[in-house]
Amino acid sequence: MDFIRWIPIFHILLAANLFLCISQNLKTEAVRHQDSRHNVLFIVVDDLRPALGCYEVSKYITPNIDQLCSMGIKFSNAYAQQALCGPSRVSFLTSRRPDTTRLYDVHSYWRHAAGNFTTLPQHFKEHGYHTASVGKVFHPGKSSNFNDDQPYSWSEKPYHPSTQAYKNSKVCAGPGGRKYSNIVCPVNVTQQPEATLPDMQSTRQAMQFLRDRARLESSPSTAPTAPFFLAVGYHKPHVPLKYPEQFLDLYPLSTVPLASNRHYPEHMPLVAWNPWTDLRDRDDVKELNVSFPFGPLPDDYQRLVRQSYYAAISYMDDQIGHLLSSLETQGFANNTIIILFGDHGWALGEHQEWSKYSNFEVATNVPLIVYVPIIAWSRFARNRLQSVEKTKLLLERSLFPYINPLLPPHHSMTSGARRESECASGSDRVTARCVRKGGRQSNVLVELVDIFPTLCDLAGIPRPPTCPTNSSAIRLCTEGRSFALVIRNSDSRLLKNHTWVKSAVFSQYPRPSNFPVATSDQPRLREIAVMGYSMRCTHHRYTEWIGFDKNMFRGIWSDVRARELYFLDKDPGENHNQAYNKSHATFVAKLAKQLRYQMELS
Ligand SMILES: *[C@@H]1O[C@H](CO)[C@@H](O)[C@H](O)[C@H]1NC(C)=O
Ligand SMILES: *[C@@H]1O[C@H](CO)[C@@H](O)[C@H](O)[C@H]1NC(C)=O
Ligand SMILES: *[C@@H]1O[C@H](CO)[C@@H](O)[C@H](O)[C@H]1NC(C)=O
Ligand SMILES: *[C@@H]1O[C@H](CO)[C@@H](O)[C@H](O)[C@H]1NC(C)=O
Ligand SMILES: *[C@@H]1O[C@H](CO)[C@@H](O)[C@H](O)[C@H]1NC(C)=O
Ligand SMILES: *[C@@H]1O[C@H](CO)[C@@H](O)[C@H](O)[C@H]1NC(C)=O
Ligand SMILES: *[C@@H]1O[C@H](CO)[C@@H](O)[C@H](O)[C@H]1NC(C)=O
């Protein structure tokens, strides 16, 4: 399946909920000396589940990301390939699944262990982009060769914030005025080492990058500059939940709810369980003497952890607000594609579990938002002569006004209300696109391996071919599928066209044994004995835990340890495993066949 590549002749500006048409050609319009291709701002947030205002209104305070949502498209069914940072990142950066990258832990580098696979930033670099990495993009350490895959992926030395060195330091306030290494860790930033925090340093660095690019492009002597691919990786809300203490004020403890399903799923096989050792290792949780491996964490502490996860997200949103408004101030908002997503989810007490390390929805489902400022769509091209006035107005208006989440709530509500009234007063064509709070939503199934080919399509550079079953010798290919068509088409009839929408997406998680042990969360390759392969379809999730051949990097399909089946329409919280219900035996047999077929193909 192919579609006509975008040719930058007629532009549709997607801003403040409005799609309007411009009749000018970028090539002749460009004031700056940049070639006409779009820049890419690639934002990946560590351990972020869809805990954002634009995903769950009224629960989370993220006005800046909400604005991005209101100008772009948000995907409500996006999934990570494995709910662990290292494997997930190597997977989406190479567009191959963990069985191909051979990375399920953080202890090998794919170019040595699996194949010399081309990465997403490397591909952009090889097509003339200037690529840069700020913060946690690759998982640092062995899994990116201790150098963020240099020299292949980046045009300049990757930046890491110096204060990440204090990640596990005893800097959190606790009893007796002493400092601890806690999971719950609101801080007075001025008293922290170097008086800052890692994500603040990364934001500053990314803003400096944008200023430098803007200066370079405006300097009259230079030849056209390359477009940029700027990847920014935020550390929060990864543990420890360390953030400026003011953000706690946004979530008074009494308003923080507990998970409604604080119990194991009925008939849950024990191999599915993750004992959240990363919480247990912290001073504050240790002090609670929680029993291993099932806990539970006391309710009052559950509330504190949830409160701090929320606060850490609002802090991260604040940083992203600064970054986006800088993108605009430097004049890049109208020619930069923005993608923002989480590397995997995080359980917040659901099933009495915490953290990632599983195949449940809470661990595999991620937020994914794409903003494309100018898109070519032949239907819009027909209307191109309309409304030059409106276009001018739009360009003058701030695309990303920074919103301080610590201001009283009515501030952000005012801007939301203004957006909605603009929607209401627009023409029919415009109004049709204005959904509540603006922006578009898609519930098609997508997965993080799809990002690589999608960004290629959006930026107009060659999309990698689909990988054959054994791709170890092939440098450039993808195990994903581009969803650029979904982004370009807001026509809901087209969105239902199943010939290019996936009917299932896949995640997996390794275990050292059927029964939970200390290494169940993060087994090393040599310890892996079981692999849980999980297939997420529109209405259900089917997971099969099978024996694993760690030398061949394959599941042993004849050695089934356990199965899970959740009907998500009736049971979105995955509380009732129906895999052993005799009424569904035929269905389970069919799903087992499909899952095996798909996993053996890739
Ligand atoms: C790996 O691929 C890169 C280009 O993608 C190439 O420069 C390098 O030489 C290759 N390494 C090996 C060992 O083949
Ligand atoms: C944070 O620490 C600084 C320096 O010690 C102090 O001046 C300031 O009052 C503290 N802020 C709060 C809110 O405690
Ligand atoms: C945990 O155990 C330690 C020593 O066994 C004890 O001093 C402490 O009071 C216990 N804490 C709780 C919350 O039960
Ligand atoms: C994008 O914005 C810049 C600066 O605000 C402006 O100079 C340029 O003309 C705009 N480009 C387009 C295609 O609208
Ligand atoms: C995959 O291909 C490589 C090189 O083409 C080969 O060495 C390897 O044995 C193949 N693997 C399998 C499982 O067939
Ligand atoms: C669905 O998509 C395919 C491939 O792009 C296209 O050929 C077909 O006409 C589409 N069907 C409908 C009903 O739009
Ligand atoms: C088994 O499935 C049937 C059909 O969906 C349902 O009516 C029944 O409640 C299920 N049994 C259990 C124990 O969940």
- What are the pLDDT digits (tens) for 511-535? 999 999 999 999 999 999 999 999 9
What kind of fold does domain 36-502 have according to CATH? Alkaline Phosphatase, subunit A (3.40.720)
What confidence tier does 60 reach under pLDDT thresholds 50, 70, 90?
Answer: very high
- Which residue lies with its CA nearest to atom 13 of ligand 3? 288
Catalytic one among 21, 69, 85, 477? 85
**pLDDT score, position 136:** 98
Mean pLDDT throughout 420-424? Answer: 35
Give residue 403's pLDDT band: very low, low, confident or very high (50, 70, 90): confident
Average confidence score pLDDT of the chain: 86
- Nearest listed ligand to the Cα of residue 476: 1
Judged by its nearest atom, the ligand closest to the C-alpha of residue 498 is 6
Residues with Cβ within 8 Å of 356's Cβ and at least 6 positions away in sequence, in order, are 47, 83, 84, 274, 344, 345, 346, 347, 363
pLDDT at 507 over 60: yes
Per-residue 3-state assignment (H helix, E strand, C coil) for 551-582: CCCEEEEEEEEEEEEEECCCCCCCCECCCCCH
Ligand 6 centroid–CA 596 distance in Å is 28
Judged against a pLDDT cut of 70, whether residue 155 lies above it is answered with: yes
More confident residue, 131 or 429: 131
Task: Find the 190 Cα to ligand 2 centroid distance in Å.
Answer: 7
Which of the residue ranges 49-58, 484-493, 499-508 would you say has the lowest mean pLDDT?
A: 484-493
Compare 135 and 7 and report the one with higher pLDDT. 135
Q: Is the pLDDT of residue 17 over 80?
A: no
Atom 12 of ligand 2: nearest residue by CA position: 188
For the cut 70, the answer to whether the pLDDT of residue 90 exceeds it is yes
118 lines ligand 1 (CB under 6 A): yes
* Atom number, ligand 2, closest to the C-alpha of residue 189: 1
Q: Name the residue among 536, 529, 497 with its Cα closest to residue 515.
A: 529
Q: What is the pLDDT of residues 298-315, one digit of tens each?
A: 999 999 999 999 999 999
For 226-240, the DSSP string reads: PPEEEEEEE-TTSSS
Q: Which residue has the higher pLDDT, 327 or 496?
A: 327
Q: Distance between CA atoms of 53 and 134, rounded to whole angstroms?
A: 25
Tens-digit pLDDT profile for residues 203-221: 999 999 999 999 998 887 7
Q: In the numeric block, which tokens belong to residue 294?
A: 């099932």
Tell how strand 11-15 and strand 374-375 pair up. antiparallel
Whether the pLDDT of residue 34 is over 80: the answer is no
Please state the rounded mean pLDDT for residues 163-173.
Answer: 96
Query: Is it the case that residue 10 has pLDDT exceeding 70?
Result: no
Name the phi and psi angles at 442, rounded to 5: -125, 135
Cβ within 8 Å of residue 47, ≥6 positions away: 85, 237, 238, 239, 342, 343, 344, 345, 346, 355, 356
Over 60: is that where the pLDDT of 412 sits? Answer: no
pLDDT at 29 > cutoff 60: no
Most confident stretch, 380-394, 395-409, 443-457? 443-457
- The arithmetic mean of pLDDT across residues 180-201, rounded, is 97
85 is catalytic: yes
586 has a pLDDT exceeding 60: yes
Closest atom of ligand 6 relative to the 494 alpha carbon: 14
**Residue having the nearest C-alpha atom to atom 3 of ligand 7:** 583
Ligand 2 atom nearest to 245, measured from its CA: 13
Pinpoint the alpha helices (H) of 182-262: 198-218
pLDDT reported for residue 14: 28
CA distance 501 to 383: 28
Residue 289 in contact with ligand 3 by CB distance below 6 A:
yes
Segment 18-32 mean pLDDT: 33
Q: What residue spans define the domains of the chain?
A: 36-502
Alpha-carbon dihedral angle through residues 220, 226, 229, 230, given to the nearest 10 degrees: -30
User: Quick check: 561 pLDDT over 90?
Assistant: yes
pLDDT at 487: 84
Mean predicted confidence (pLDDT) in 121-142: 98
Residue/partner pairs of 147-152 with CB below 8 Å, 24 or more apart: 149/111, 149/119, 149/122, 152/111, 152/118, 152/119, 152/122
Q: Is the pLDDT of residue 356 over 90?
A: yes
Ligand minimally distant from the alpha carbon of residue 373: 4
Q: Is the pLDDT of residue 198 over 80?
A: yes
**Mean pLDDT across 562-579:** 98
* Index of the ligand 1 atom closest to the CA of residue 122: 5
What is the predicted pLDDT for the residue at 384? 39
- Please report the pLDDT score of residue 439 as a whole number: 75
pLDDT of residue 456: 96
CA-closest candidate to residue 111, choices 89, 142, 132, 85: 142
* Contact (CB, 8 A) for 464 and 452: yes
Mean pLDDT across the stretch 335-341?
96
Instruction: Report how far residue 47's alpha carbon sits from residue 74's, in angstroms, rounded to the nearest whole number.
Output: 18
For the ranges 248-252, 325-329, 384-388, the lowest mean pLDDT is seen at 384-388
- pLDDT of 408 reads 55
What is the mean pLDDT of the segment spanning 544-573?
A: 97
